[in-house]
Amino acid sequence: MLPEPDELLAAAHVVRLPLVTRFRGVTEREALLLHGPSGWGEFSPFLEYGDEEASAWLAAAIEAAWGDPIASSRAEVPVNATLPTVPVEQIAAVLERFGEVRTVKVKVADAAESLAHDVARVREVRRILGPAGRIRVDANGGWSVDAAERAAHALAGFDLEYLEQPCASIDELAELRERLHDWQLPIAADESVRKADDPLAVARAGAADLVVVKVQPLGGVARALRIVAEAGLPAIVSSAIDTSVGLAMGARLAAALPELDYDCGLGTAALLAADVTGEPLTPVDGRIPVRPVEPDAALLRAHAAPPERVAWWHDRLRRALGVLRVSR
């Protein structure tokens, strides 16, 4: 049962939070937070996403705020630090915000950057983490198969944990996976899961070794759990520069998974210069707790989005709810 639009809008708070560094081309993150009988939920699809895609994110927020509790088998979950495309000299300072972590995800393949810069960033992260640290890179589909193969060679000395979405399409991932077969460099699918019409297609095609799962784009914790079970591959739980409300949704998924062999991309509260709670889910000793997050009224007010942005998010929520109503 979906709540009525007016019930959702009456429970909605739209915030705009500053980021510590530019990420995906933006320096601020907007989110609509919903308060329902089961707690708080976050609806924060990226601004350029259409209503169809945004509707899955809304389903996840409604599940969190109106849905049934989800069985949990962990009190805390291990997280990685996420390194945006910053100059090498800034890496140590950005990573310090995450505290002691054993795993870092390095964003690579930015169209405005060179492979040499990506290699220099990974080298600096390896220097900081030492040999026991784990490093994964995320290309967000930015490489061709040849470029990804070149990058894999250039990064071969850094003992990478996996390549996340090195190429955009499932066919390219499959081709790259074949070329890297003797290398033991696993490929993780992210966009091929969360932006695909069929999130299981990449697993069925044998085009990835791992799946990245995110609660909002996959339409909620329950659906994400089903996708992981059906994919039959180890999963990495991640997020989308969420507020601590959204990160708590991710932690709930991570806590409910039968296996959790990889550190989760849920440490990104460290990239927010402000959050909606005085007790944000910032990593401590490489972990975040699995617990409900209640925004502070004063912080919701202090970071309230401008009125025209509130109106924009309310319209977007109505349209996304309309999509959910016809699809269910």
Ligand X SMILES: O=C(O)CCC(=O)c1ccccc1C(=O)O
- For residues 19 and 271, is the Cβ–Cβ distance under 8 A? yes
DSSP state, 90?
G
User: If contact means CB under 5 to 8 A according to the sort of partner, which of Mg ion, ligand X, none does residue 240 touch?
Assistant: ligand X
Q: Is 164 annotated to bind ligand?
A: yes
CB of 67 to Mg ion, least distance (A): 26
Spatial CA neighbour of 54 closest among 326, 328, 316 = 316
- For residues 110 and 143, is the Cβ–Cβ distance under 8 A? no
CB of 291 to ligand X, least distance (A): 20
| Beta-carbon contacts of residue 163 (< 8 Å; ≥ 6 apart) | 136, 137, 139, 148, 152, 185, 186, 187, 188
| Region of residue 147 (phi > 0: left; psi between -120 and 50: alpha; otherwise: beta) | alpha
CB of 238 to ligand X, least distance (A): 4
Binding mask 127-146 for ligand X (x = CB under 6 A): -----------x-x------
Q: Is 72 in the site for ligand X (CB under 6 A)?
A: no
Q: Which of residues 87-106 bind ligand X (CB under 6 A)?
A: 105
Binding mask 139-178 for ligand X (x = CB under 6 A): -x--------------------------------------
Catalytic residue selected from 214, 287, 303, 316: 214
Query: What phi, psi does 22 have (nearest 5°)?
Result: -60, 140
Q: What is the sign, positive or negative, of the torsion defined by CA atoms of 119, 121, 123, 126?
A: negative
Triad 24, 82, 276: Cα angle to 5°? 75
Q: Is 107 a catalytic residue?
A: yes
Q: How many residues bind Mg ion (CB under 5 A)?
A: 3
Catalytic residue selected from 13, 29, 105, 107: 107
Q: Is 138 annotated to bind ligand?
A: yes
What is the rounded CA–CA span in Å between residue 51 and residue 99?
37
Q: Is 105 a catalytic residue?
A: no
Residue 131 burial by CB count (10 A; 0-12/13-18/19+): exposed, middle or buried?
exposed
Binding mask 188-227 for Mg ion (x = CB under 5 A): --x-------------------------------------
Q: Which of residues 22-41 bind ligand X (CB under 6 A)?
A: 24
CB of 185 to Mg ion, least distance (A): 16
| Interaction site with ligand X (CB under 6 A) | 24, 80, 82, 105, 138, 140, 190, 238-241, 265, 268
User: Catalytic site residues?
Assistant: 107, 214
